[in-house]
């Protein structure tokens, strides 16, 4: 909860209650959070996206490069293997005469030397221009066999060199044939034909030790027939399920999809002077393991950074807006205080002028009325309606005294008389104030209830000004309650202060009016109110070193609490 209070401003839920500052700080907070987040997070997201694609690009290159390199190296090895055997056959056929190699003993010696030097040869045969096999060395009885009608014989007679597809033949194992031709004088020719085992030497070349378990390397011919067994796409001499890649004189690496929609990376190379195509098929999912790890780290880094930055932004924005709001509140309070002081100064000057102008006529009225009363009282002659005139004059004197009291209050408000401290029993003082309103309470049947602890200590304060304070508040309470209303007065002690609470069950004060209730000339009374009572009360209480607060609910009543410094002595 403490953490949430640090990042969620306190005014988020309360601000809507105030019309003047409605949503202002909330809007400021939103702008601050949005702009700071945009400035902070946008570069982070852009840089992460750039790194994401750069990493992906680099890893893709690193993923493709080994396949391309492996295909090129294997292509060169295969071409070197085939070329070595063609060169060996060419060397024999050009170094020896037909008669030499037609001799069976010499032919056997040649085959033995060739097999020991190069390996991979199964048998060797010498075929004349008519297609008859004149000499043969190998595990089968093929001497005298005629190849004149076979395609390979026509191919080698035309091109001079022939390398066949892998086939089973009557040898019943996968092999391919290399045949070379040598011209003789008179337009005649003969062919040296060798059979090469496929599985052992070729398999060694195309199966590197560091091959991934998910990667497959094999040979096919131009028709897509497997020339070596594949790990995933069939056995030797079966039709491969993948499409035959287009011809290219260079090593190529492509991203393809199977008929089932599965992606794979294909590296291939056409082997020169042969029908073979080297195929390297890799599964991208296995190759992308490093990329997936990097991508996961990038995503978590981005999420973690965003969360941390947002928390810092929320905390700092809330802190800054709170400081701005506090400064605004202090400024508003200061302006209100200045405005209040100006009003009080104006009222003071006005009150002093009014009191001065009224006091003089009142003094004359008082003097003349007293003189008339004395004359009437001392006259011994028959004076008709003497008693009635004396009563009327006494009424005039009472009202003059009342006006004098009012002007005295105005002068007191204007002059801000010094505080005269004395020991005061608050209970007796409040009851003295209530004695002025006793008749009204009886007439309107208003009950006044005291809640004062026994032997409550006295305080040190100004009696006259406190009387004015409580008279103003109780007067307002009488004005607020209906007939047969209720007023409660309680006093409590709290360390070095004394709190007097005067509550009524009157009509209450609205929240809007409650904020202005201590302003001079502000009144909620429709008739007879000048709006000075509570303003004077507020000033007196502050002058006495206390404070005053008010709580009210419309229709339920109002409570004024006057807190005064004790500075008391006990009886």
Kindly report, residue by residue over 430-466, the tens digit of the pLDDT.
Answer: 888 887 788 888 889 999 999 988 888 888 888 778 8
Dist CA 161 CA 182 (whole Å): 10
Dist CA 387 CA 500 (whole Å): 46
pLDDT for the residue numbered 569? 44
Residue burial 170-192, b: 16+ Cβ < 10 Å; e: rest = ebeebbbbbbbbbeeeeeebbbb
pLDDT for the residue numbered 303? 92
Residue burial 330-357, b: 16+ Cβ < 10 Å; e: rest = eeeeeeeeeebeeebeebbeebbeebee
pLDDT at 343 > cutoff 50? yes
pLDDT for the residue numbered 504? 94
- Residue 498, CA distances (Å) to 87, 403, 458, 489, 492 in order: 121, 33, 10, 13, 6
Looking at 126-251, list the stretches that DSSP marks H as alpha helix, in order from N- to C-terminal side: 151-159, 199-206
pLDDT at 262 > cutoff 70? yes
Instruction: For residue 438, give the DSSP letter.
Output: H
Q: With a threshold of 0.75, does the pTM exceed it?
A: no
Percent of the chain's residues with pLDDT above 90: 22
CB 448 within 8 A of CB 489: yes
61 falls in which pLDDT band (50, 70, 90)?
Answer: confident
How do residues 195-251 score in pLDDT, each as one tens digit?
988 776 777 777 765 667 788 899 999 999 999 888 888 888 899 888 899 999 999
- Residue 168, CA distances (Å) to 69, 173, 217, 236 in order: 32, 5, 21, 10
Q: Once rounded to an integer, what is the mean pLDDT over residues 179-201?
A: 85
Q: Is 283 left (phi over 0), alpha (psi -120 to 50) or beta?
A: beta
How do residues 12-53 score in pLDDT, each as one tens digit?
655 544 444 556 788 888 888 899 999 999 998 999 889 888
pLDDT at 487 > cutoff 80? yes
pLDDT at 58 > cutoff 80? yes
């Amino acid at each position: 909860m403490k953490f949430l209070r640090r990042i969620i401003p306190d005014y988020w839920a309360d601000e809507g209650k105030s019309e003047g500052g409605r949503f202002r700080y909330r809007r400021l907070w939103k702008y601050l959070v949005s702009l700071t987040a945009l400035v902070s997070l946008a570069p982070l997201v852009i840089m992460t996206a750039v790194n994401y694609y750069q990493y992906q690009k680099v890893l893709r290159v690193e993923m493709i490069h080994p396949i391309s390199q492996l295909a090129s190296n294997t292509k060169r090895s295969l071409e070197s293997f085939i070329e070595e055997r063609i060169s060996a056959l060419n060397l024999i056929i050009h170094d020896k005469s037909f008669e030499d190699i037609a001799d069976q003993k010499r032919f056997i010696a040649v085959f033995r030397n060739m097999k020991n030097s190069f390996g991979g040869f199964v048998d060797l045969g010498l075929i004349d221009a008519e297609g008859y096999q004149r000499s043969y060395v190998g595990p089968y009885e093929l001497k005298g066999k005629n190849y004149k009608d076979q395609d390979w014989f026509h191919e080698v007679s035309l091109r001079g060199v022939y390398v066949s597809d892998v086939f089973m033949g009557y040898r019943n194992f996968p092999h391919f044939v290399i045949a070379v031709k040598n011209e003789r004088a008179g337009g005649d020719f003969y062919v040296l034909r060798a059979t090469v085992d496929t599985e052992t030497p070729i398999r060694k070349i195309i199966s590197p030790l560091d091959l991934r378990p998910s990667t497959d390397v094999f040979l096919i011919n131009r028709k897509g027939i497997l020339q070596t067994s594949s790990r995933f796409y069939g056995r030797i001499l079966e039709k491969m399920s993948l499409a035959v890649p287009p011809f290219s004189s260079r090593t190529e690496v492509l991203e393809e999809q199977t008929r089932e929609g599965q992606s794979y990376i294909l590296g291939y190379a056409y082997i020169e002077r042969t029908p073979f195509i080297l195929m390297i098929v890799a599964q991208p999912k296995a190759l992308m393991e490093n990329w997936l790890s990097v991508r996961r780290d990038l995503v978590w880094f981005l999420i973690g950074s965003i969360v941390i930055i947002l928390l810092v932004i929320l905390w700092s924005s809330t802190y800054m807006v709170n400081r701005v709001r506090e400064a605004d509140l202090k400024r508003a309070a200061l302006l209100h205080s200045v405005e209040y002081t100006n009003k009080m100064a104006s009222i003071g000057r006005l009150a002093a002028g009014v009191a001065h102008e009224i006091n003089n006529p009142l003094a004359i009225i008082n003097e003349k009325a007293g003189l008339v009363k004395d004359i009437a009282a001392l006259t011994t002659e028959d004076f008709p309606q003497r008693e009635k005139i004396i009563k009327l004059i006494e009424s005039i004197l009472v009202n003059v005294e009342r006006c004098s009291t009012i002007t005295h209050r105005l002068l007191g408000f204007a002059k801000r008389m010094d505080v005269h401290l004395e020991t005061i029993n608050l209970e007796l003082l409040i009851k003295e104030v209530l004695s002025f309103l006793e008749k009204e309470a009886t007439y309107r049947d208003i009950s006044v209830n005291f809640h004062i602890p026994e032997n409550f200590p006295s305080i040190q304060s100004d009696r006259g000004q406190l009387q004015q304070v409580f008279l103003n508040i109780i007067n307002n309470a009488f004005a607020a309650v209906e007939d047969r209303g209720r007023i409660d007065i309680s006093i409590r002690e709290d360390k070095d202060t004394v709190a007097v609470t005067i509550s009524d069950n009157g009509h209450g004060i609205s929240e809007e009016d409650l904020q202005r209730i201590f302003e001079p000339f502000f009144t909620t009374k429709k008739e007879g109110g000048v709006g000075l009572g509570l303003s004077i009360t507020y000033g007196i209480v502050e002058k006495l070193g206390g404070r005053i607060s008010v709580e009210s609910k419309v229709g339920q009543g109002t409570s004024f609490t006057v807190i005064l410094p004790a500075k008391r002595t006990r009886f």
